[in-house]
Amino acid sequence: MTSDLRNPVFDNIKFLMIFLVVLGHALEPFVSISTSFRTLYTFIYTFHMPVFVIVAGMFSSAKLDQYRFGKLLKSLIIPFIIFSVLYETTHFLFFKQVSPYLAHAMPYWLLWFLPSLFFWRITLRFAVKLPLFIVFSIGAAVVLGAVSESHKFFGLARTLYFWPFFILGYKFKSNLLALPNMRRPVKYMCGLGIIFGLFIVGIKSELDPRLLYGSLPYYMFDQGFMEGASYRLVIYLFSFCLSICVISVCPQKLPIQKNSTKNTLFAYLWHGFFIKALIASGLIATLSAWPILLLFLLIVLISTLLTFGLSSKVVANFTNKCVLGPFNTLLKEPPRDTESLR
């Protein structure tokens, strides 16, 4: 994201969404043991990435000069390459086999967001010039859902699935920036909307949460084109409405350090190692036997500690200097074109 329009409220939103990303990944190994876990997991996935992508679109620039392109390479592609190697190596050490992501030329698990954001950013300058591009982006995602191997081509399906949210964030940034400042009655209505959304997800307990990933073709859910397209359009509408409600009710202040809200990328990049370690250790079976409430409290505690700890300045400095730094020096800093930044 660009920092020109940095807004502390939206830093808070990013932090809360990263917490939900961590919580969702921590819940994932346990969704089969409890209907409540499955409902919460599904509900989180209806809006947490849409909100994150909308906010990314809001704070993106359609300008793409040499300086901005270089910054995108350093902030997105370099971390993607380095952490892909780290995750693939860890996966092999833990499970003694190459990951299915590498086998199918897909971004490793949670790393899909980095190349997707790179794609959205570099295409934004062209997208904003085309009328009704939001309709085109939705249509592309709906049609691609019928292509059987689209999810295996470097995560293209998921990139296109979330593309409309990015475009919406950019197009309506001025309206979205005003949402956290809405009057209390409106916030209460949005809060009720979130509760209603949870209720809908609860009564639709048979809904496969993988539908919300946006990465899998319709045939994997035994859906034809018309049924799959209809499901996808309804999910789009549901996710967008929930996202607007979530952005509206986000608190103006959080009892956390500002550094934490600005370093959410590092929590995103690192937390997967801890989740994979939990799975590889064999603790899932042991923890699954715990009482549901106690297990839920443990998952929330672990997710909270990971989000706060990995968003700390210490982790940010370590990542920038020791992990990313040596590779970033390989990229020559492009000249900053001051005219193009005005």
Is 133 part of a structural domain of the chain?
yes
Alpha-carbon span 49 to 239, nearest angstrom: 9
Residue 273: which domain range? 8-328
In a domain, 3, yes or no: no
**Interval 187-203: pLDDT, tens:** 899 999 999 999 999 98
Residue 194 forms part of a structural domain: yes
Evaluate whether residue 310 is within a structural domain.
yes
273-285 pLDDT, tens per residue? Answer: 999 998 888 888 8
Q: What is the pLDDT of residues 91-139, one digit of tens each?
A: 999 888 898 888 888 899 899 999 999 999 999 988 888 878 889 999 9
- 334 within some domain: no
pLDDT of residue 193: 94
What average pLDDT does the segment 209-222 reach? 90
Q: How many domains does the chain have?
A: 1
Structural domain includes residue 219:
yes
In a domain, 1, yes or no: no
340 within domain boundaries:
no
